[in-house]
Amino acid sequence: MDPLSEMLAVLEIEAAQPSRFEAAGQWSLRFPGGRHLKVGAVLAGQCWITAEGAEPVHLRAGEGYLLASTRPYGTASDPALPAIDGQQVFDGISPDTVRYQTSADDPDRTIIVAGAVSLDPTSAALVVDHLPSIVRIDAGSAPGRALGPLLELLGQESAEDSLGAGNVREQLTKVLFVQALRALIASDNRPAGWLGALADESIAPALELIHREPARAWTVAELAEKVGMSRSSFALRFKTLVGLPPVDYLARWRILAAGRALRSTDRTVYSVATEFGYGSESAFSNAFKRVTGHSPTRYRVKNS
**232 pLDDT more than 90:** yes
Instruction: Pick the closest to residue 101 from 28, 52, 46, 192 (CA basis).
Output: 28
| Tens-digit pLDDT profile for residues 239-256 | 999 989 999 999 999 999
| Tens-digit pLDDT profile for residues 159-170 | 888 888 889 999
Pairing outcome for strands 37-44 and 64-67:
antiparallel
**190 pLDDT more than 80:** no
- Which residue did the predictor score with more confidence, 35 or 31? 31
**33 pLDDT more than 90:** no
The residues pairing with 141 across neighbouring beta strands, listed in sequence order, are none
- Which residue did the predictor score with more confidence, 195 or 235? 235
| Tens-digit pLDDT profile for residues 73-90 | 999 999 999 999 999 999
Residue 198 CB burial class (10 angstroms; 0-12, 13-18, ≥19): buried
The count of other CB atoms within 10 Å of the CB of residue 162 is 10
Domains of the chain: 3-186 (2.60.120.280), 200-303 (1.10.10.60)
Distance separating alpha carbons of residues 37 and 201, to the nearest angstrom: 28
Q: What is the pLDDT of residue 59?
A: 96
Distance separating alpha carbons of residues 174 and 47, to the nearest angstrom: 22
Q: Please state, rounded to an integer, the average pLDDT across all residues of the chain.
A: 91
**67 pLDDT more than 90:** yes
Mean pLDDT within 216-245: 95
Total number of residues shown for the chain? 304
Residue 294 CB burial class (10 angstroms; 0-12, 13-18, ≥19): middle
**223 pLDDT more than 90:** yes
Distance separating alpha carbons of residues 12 and 120, to the nearest angstrom: 6
pLDDT range class, residue 96, cuts 50, 70, 90: confident
Dihedral sign computed on CA atoms, order 89, 90, 91, 97: positive
Q: What is the pLDDT of residue 162?
A: 85
Count, in order, helices (H) and strands (E) of the chain: 14, 12
Distance separating alpha carbons of residues 253 and 117, to the nearest angstrom: 22
Mean pLDDT within 4-33: 92
| Tens-digit pLDDT profile for residues 110-161 | 999 999 999 988 888 888 888 889 989 888 888 888 888 888 998 999 988 8
Distance separating alpha carbons of residues 95 and 18, to the nearest angstrom: 6
28, 74 contact by CB (below 8 A): yes
Distance separating alpha carbons of residues 140 and 146, to the nearest angstrom: 10
**290 pLDDT more than 80:** yes
DSSP single-letter state for residue 166: H
Pairing outcome for strands 73-76 and 28-31:
antiparallel
pLDDT range class, residue 69, cuts 50, 70, 90: confident
Q: What is the pLDDT of residue 183?
A: 86
**304 pLDDT more than 80:** no
Distance separating alpha carbons of residues 100 and 48, to the nearest angstrom: 16
Mean pLDDT within 7-13: 90
Instruction: Pick the closest to residue 233 from 217, 247, 244, 220 (CA basis).
Output: 220
Q: What is the pLDDT of residue 175?
A: 92
Q: What is the pLDDT of residue 205?
A: 95
**Plot region of 32 (φ>0 → left; ψ -120 to 50 → alpha; else → beta):** beta
145, 213 contact by CB (below 8 A): no
Q: How many CA atoms lie within 13 A of 277 on its CB side?
A: 18
